Structure 1
Amino acid sequence: MSIKVLIVDDSSFFRHQIKSIINSSPNLTVVGEAANGRDAIDKVVSLKPDVITMDYEMPLMDGITAVREIMRRQPTPILMFSSLTLQGARVTLDALDAGAVDFLPKSYEKASGNTEALRQALVEKLQTIARPSSLLRRGAPAAPRSPVARTTAARKYTQRFELVMIGTSTGGPVALQKVLTQLPANFPVPVLLIQHMPGSFTGAFAERLNSQCRIGVKEAEDGDIIKPGMAYLAPGGMQMMLTGKNKLKVLAGDARLNYKPSVDLTFGSAVKHYNKSALAIVLTGMGADGREGARLLKQAQNVIWAQEGSTCVIDGMPSAVVKANLADEVIPLPDIARRIINVVT
């Protein structure tokens, strides 16, 4: 059965281009279009789409207001289209807070020219976020748990932790916010954050987290000396590595790497400097980034946690770690901050 898509955008040109891309996929079907948020709400109720694409700037009702109302009336996975600007980043983060699941850059040039890259990204994201599990954080009924979505019992650790690293992708901005806002101002170790996100977004995301959290949060810079009570967010489009126990290197990295930033690369770079003293956590996200880095950390007797699958927007990344038997604990998102505090402080 095809996934039913509702397109919401005030540009008839963009709606037409996106509709053509979506209908070219055998697994997706456009069931309706809306030119503003108010019309979108009515069509969500009448058409009951499986997933929605949403613009932000529209007449009568903007995209963020529409997202909030849709999540209140009839929770449905929403993919935002966003401009790659600082203001676009802030708006997108607002939309994710309101309930949107993921986002794609909005480019009229790509939509009107060679659309293959846009088609692949759009189809993959729509097919992925249409799953029922993507609505769990908004209170929709839970999907049946997979064998790797189990919660494990809390363990006792004898080592002293000196570093926390958190890797995530789809659903990560909200998940990181839920974890980091619970950490105390006197948190005794540095935190490294690796979130799959465009370069124009990570500065705004670090700025937002810093305003919300009691610990400090900044976008990492080359040469940063990491300090307790501070979290360092890997810049989008770049790689973040540890070149010493407390020193960061930010670089363009190998073009062959699929992810910039890469969780695997940051995790792997810590192995040389941390033995038995690093805690690495893999949160919600598509794919398997983080698994191989976790494997290296595990070989150095560090500790690996994975977010419990039914509390993920997308459980690909944490499930990859669990299936590889690398996770020391599998923890629901609401419990992760408490567990971090218990074992680190």
Structure 2
Amino acid sequence: MGFRLWLKESFPVDQEALVKISSEPIPNHLKRWWWALGGAPLVFFVIQVITGIMLIFYYVPDPENAYDSVAYITHTASFGWLIRSIHRWASNLMIASLILHMMRVFFTQTFRKPREINWMFGVVLFLVTLMFGFTGYSLVYEQMSYWAMKVGTGIAGATPLIGNWIADFMRGGTEIGQNTLTRFYLFHVVLLPFLIVLAMGIHVYLIRTLGVSELRFKGDEKQEKKTFPFFPDHVYTETIIVVIALILLVSLSLLFPVHLGDRADPNVTPLHIKPEWYFYPVFRWLKITNLSVGVIAPIVFIIILFTWPFIDRFFQKWFPRREVGFWTGVAGMITLNMFLIWEIFGH
């Protein structure tokens, strides 16, 4: 009894706040797990943080030793291959789950007033996560990742007006070298995780403040209650999603472990340079266009995506019955998937 009293006095907990959170009403549509995937990216991010800390103990951010340190992790360190595979697959699954979540929000139009700013922070979170994946892939310093880094900084350098400054900032100079790897390491380990945590924090805060949009479907009118409690109902749904995500992650890591390619050689250009799959649409687009012109389209796409709630409001005002925003999204998804498949099977 004395210990419990001491703990209560030393670490006071607001019981009313806990009761309020646990009894918070959740819209009925979130009983369906495919509408409740918003927490999956957070799960995969936490896994990346844990496995990333393990990898830091062995990784050396130096051009002379980076590849050897990754080789040691992969071939010598106890379960190093598994930790590295889980880290890599968690990155891919985080991006995939973010894409699915953004598609759900887009096509259910839950970005509309008053949730415009939350959508914008979601887009920022997605872009930072893409950079998180790019910098992590580059740190391996194998042949493909080295040239992906070189091509990536070259594409950044083609950005109008500020391209040269961005490229030099990323490289730490005019060429790929020691400064580049050091900067990518700092981006990946310090700056980008901080930005992800910040964007996630603001995103979740706005969700808690504004509430979750209620979606109504055919048959829902028969239900007497429009909401259900956060605890234990929604916690149970999220727990199932987490368990399934972990099973999928471990299965992929065991069945398709991450391999290590050849050591980076700046003097030998690979016959076919391939980025990670989530950059395939942009990579294919740049293949069929001039670099200085082609780099503008992704920038315009990002601006449109970022400001979409306001563009959608314009469509609502001038074309209220034509679902222009919805069909614009469908056309965009078809185009992106077309470029993705083209890059996968094309040459």
TM range, normalised to the smaller chain? under 0.3
Q: Give TM-score scaled by structure 1 length.
A: 0.26
Q: Give TM-score scaled by structure 2 length.
A: 0.26
Looking at secondary structure, tell me which structure has more helix per residue.
2
Rg larger in structure:
2
Of structures 1 and 2, the one with the larger relative CO (CA 8 A, separation 6+) is 2
Looking at secondary structure, tell me which structure has more strand per residue.
1
